[in-house]
Amino acid sequence: MGSGAAPAVRNTPLWAMPAPTGARLPFYALMFFTFIVLVAPQGLLPALAPLHLALVAATVAAATHLADRLRRAAPLTVSEPEIRLALVLFGLGALSVPTSYWIEGSVQSLLALFGKSLIVFLLIANILVTAERLRGMLWLLTLGSSVPAVTVVKEYLSGDLVGARVQGYLSALTSNPNDVALTLNIAVALAVGLALASRRRGHRIALAAVIALGVAGVVVTFSRAGFIFLTTTLLLYLGRLKKGRSGIVLLLLLLLVLTLNVDGFIARLGTIGDVQTDGSARERWETMGKAFSLMAAHPLTGVGIGQSIIALNDIGGVRWRNIHNVYLEIAVDLGIPALLVYLALLYRALRSVAEARRARLSPLLLLPARVGGGRQRAWSAGDPRARWHRALHC
């Protein structure tokens, strides 16, 4: 690979790629940005809030990456199918603005939410181009997840609940119980993969602690989608492990069984398929029915990016309800063509995992998080900002 060419991510296995010849500052800035978004230290130390550390880190990562590419006369970004699909999805978001229920709100959603997520998506695709960098990011994600895990477990044990559930964590990605469960599930999947790939006992012990905290955190959120995600992850690991290497997953299953003794959790799981007795489930089915009506009424450009809640208010009364299904929400917001593009993006992500597995590129680090994440995204509730951010990082 010449100094003036973008990394051949698709043609060269990640483990075989040489270290980037460019600056390392973009990588460090991206790592710092990830830490700020996940751990949110400004919530623990309010004096940090005026510094806008996440914005500063993302700006530094983007600016130094662009400067390095321009200095080497290299393309500004890799050109992969996933990149092109993400850009098409952004373009469809822009096309939804003129016919939006609330044009100003859609512009804000497009630029402030989707646009920022797209920038981070591009930075990840262009900066995490070696196994060393990917491994560093995975360690940061797994270790950083222990902070919200400890927080929600502490809330549950101390009785600091809202209704019968924990409040969540102060990060935008984990601001409610369902988003906490999703984040911790992804971290558990990555931690199990790292533990199975690690040869150092100290690393495995640390990761086992992260896994235990993650499982406990998922359970105390009382998230039904989170439980489905967790069990799916475990089953996928068990189905792909060789004999004699399943000890850590079996230990995880035992831990899960023990935590099911949390008061009320079994009853909560019993409402997964009981729409009549569970009020929230009944409301979700009603909301999804209205969402299908909106999708049929606005099939091409949707009701406008970020405007599904307002559109639902218009046809079903002012209730301010989320759709609770990311695929249906994209179809309502952006139209059916955008849903097809998103499904193609998800397909490409899963296909990349399959290619990595054939190349023996640590598939244990990737497959359960991809598949389980897709399943929980289909049914989880949560902050629309977090959902749009995760939708691009499928």
For 196-229, the pLDDT digits (tens) are: 888 888 998 899 899 989 988 998 898 888 888 8
Burial 351-364 (b: 16+ CB within 10 A, else e): ebbeebeeeebbbb
Query: Residue 186 pLDDT > 90, yes or no?
Result: yes
> Are the C-beta atoms of residues 339 and 327 closer than 8 Å to each other?
yes
Residue 290 lies in a domain: no
pTM confidence score: 0.80
Question: DSSP string spanning 13-69?
Answer: -GGGPPPPSS-SHHHHHHHHHHHHHHH-HHHHSGGGGGG-HHHHHHHHHHHHHHHHH
What percent of the chain has a predicted confidence (pLDDT) above 70?
74
Domain with 193 in it: 24-263
Is residue 63 scored above 90 in pLDDT?
Answer: yes
User: Is 165 strand, coil or helix?
Assistant: strand
Query: Residues 132-169: pLDDT tens digits?
Result: 898 999 999 999 999 999 999 999 888 888 877 888 89
Residue 225 domain-assigned? yes
Q: How many structural domains comprise the chain? A: 1
Rounded to an integer, what distance in angstroms lies between the CA atom of residue 206 and that of residue 184?
A: 16
Given the structure tokens 């920022």, which residue do they identify?
116
**Does residue 235 belong to any structural domain of this protein?**
yes
In a domain, 117, yes or no: yes
User: Could you tell me if residue 177 is inside a domain?
Assistant: yes
Alpha helices in the chain (DSSP H): 25-39, 41-44, 53-71, 81-95, 103-108, 116-127, 131-144, 146-158, 177-197, 201-220, 224-240, 247-259, 265-269, 279-297, 308-316, 326-334, 336-358, 367-379, 384-392
What pLDDT is stored for residue 115 in this prediction?
92
DSSP tag of 270: T
Q: Is a pLDDT exceeding 50 seen at residue 77?
A: yes
Residue 271 maps to a domain: no
Is residue 232 situated within a structural domain?
Answer: yes
Confidence of residue 284 (pLDDT cuts 50, 70, 90): confident
389 assigned to some structural domain: no
